[in-house]
Chain A
């Protein structure tokens, strides 16, 4: 039962996330943390950190990790399958019909609106994790430094997360 529910939940996540990895993370948070309570906000933030430090698409990493935590290797494979299944169906249809559809006014309008909506969803994800992630002077300093390093100096996420982990080991609290 839990297997079916996981497959269905991640199918829904794949189907309703527009705008790639970060939009998918927002959707995962909605379904996995808010709705099903499979993870706490703090665990969700851990999943995001690990997903960004591992090779490959962030959404696939997050789906595999959550699936493994919930139900071992079968769980990880089902969640991964669930999240890519809508892509396999919809992207294939779009690949076949895209050249016809992309000049249609309604098609352009739908995606223009959905892109704006995705921004709102990612902002919502930020609002929800903020309280669990930035809660001490130390974490405010780390947040500010990471923000500046990514925004101004375009430091890549992997290097940044490794440096942050080291900073946590030396200066953070358990």
Chain B
């Protein structure tokens, strides 16, 4: 059972490119349908929690599912499985990258990859903004945050702590 948890998450970690949103449908299919370890309702509750908890969403949902299926050992197996392919492939790529980073072809490729990356962050940003209930009344908040952090280099940590305190106060008013 533990080995199967590890292998299931290893497979998902190894074959999804593009982060959590690519991994979630595969995790759901594997744990709710193929293995039937957890009900769809439980999974969706866990997913909501994984998205609100700090840290990588894919790791959070692995923790939830692994713990749900087999307690602490299950949790560790799921996390290891989902990050191992990343860790191994990135170390290999980093080794190669350091050797070839100064080659003309690599530098030319990155001259186009840099603007492509900006587009790849801009699109999910707009999609997240649409899903998070952004409207004319509250749009000032992310706007001010972006200015404070992006141009005045204020550490997000203080802003996050302030936001948490304010939100708790707001709900007790």
Are B167 and A110 touching (Cβ within 8 A)?
A: yes
Are A123 and B146 touching (Cβ within 8 A)?
A: yes
Instruction: Please pick, from A21, A132, A172, the residue contacting B112 in the complex, using a CB distance under 8 A.
Output: A172
Task: Name which residue of chain B comes closest to A96, CB basis.
Answer: B67
Are A109 and B167 touching (Cβ within 8 A)?
A: yes
A-B contact count (CB 8 A): 369
- Inter-chain contacts of A146 with B (CB < 8 A): 115-116, 119-120
Q: Does B36 contact A (CB under 8 A)?
A: no
Q: Chain B: interface secondary structure?
A: helix
Instruction: Please pick, from A34, A49, A120, A125, the residue contacting B114 in the complex, using a CB distance under 8 A.
Output: A49
Are A117 and B109 touching (Cβ within 8 A)?
A: no
- Inter-chain contacts of A61 with B (CB < 8 A): 86, 90
Q: Chain A: interface secondary structure?
A: helix
Are B117 and A21 touching (Cβ within 8 A)?
A: no
Instruction: Please pick, from B19, B56, B112, the residue contacting A165 in the complex, using a CB distance under 8 A.
Output: B112
- Inter-chain contacts of A14 with B (CB < 8 A): 54-56
Size band of the interface chain B makes with A = 35 or more
Are A151 and B126 touching (Cβ within 8 A)?
A: yes
Are B90 and A65 touching (Cβ within 8 A)?
A: yes
CB distance from A62 to the nearest CB of B (A): 9
Instruction: Please pick, from B63, B83, B114, B151, the residue contacting A80 in the complex, using a CB distance under 8 A.
Output: B83
Query: Which residues of A line the B interface, CB within 8 A?
Result: 12, 14-22, 24-27, 30, 34-35, 42, 45-46, 48-61, 64-65, 68-69, 73, 76-77, 80, 83-84, 86-88, 90-92, 94-95, 98-99, 102, 105-106, 108-130, 132-134, 136, 138-140, 142-143, 146-147, 150-151, 156-158, 160-161, 164-169, 171-174
Query: Which residues of B line the A interface, CB within 8 A?
Result: 13-23, 45-46, 48-60, 63-64, 67-68, 75, 79, 82-83, 85-87, 89-91, 93-95, 97-98, 104-105, 107-126, 128-129, 132-134, 138, 141-151, 153, 155-157, 159-160, 163-164, 166-168, 170-172
A-B contact pairs, 30 of them (CB 8 A): A20-B21, A24-B56, A26-B156, A48-B121, A50-B93, A52-B117, A55-B13, A55-B86, A56-B14, A57-B13, A58-B18, A60-B86, A65-B94, A87-B54, A92-B75, A95-B46, A95-B49, A95-B68, A98-B45, A114-B164, A116-B132, A120-B142, A123-B143, A139-B114, A143-B115, A150-B123, A157-B120, A161-B117, A164-B112, A169-B108
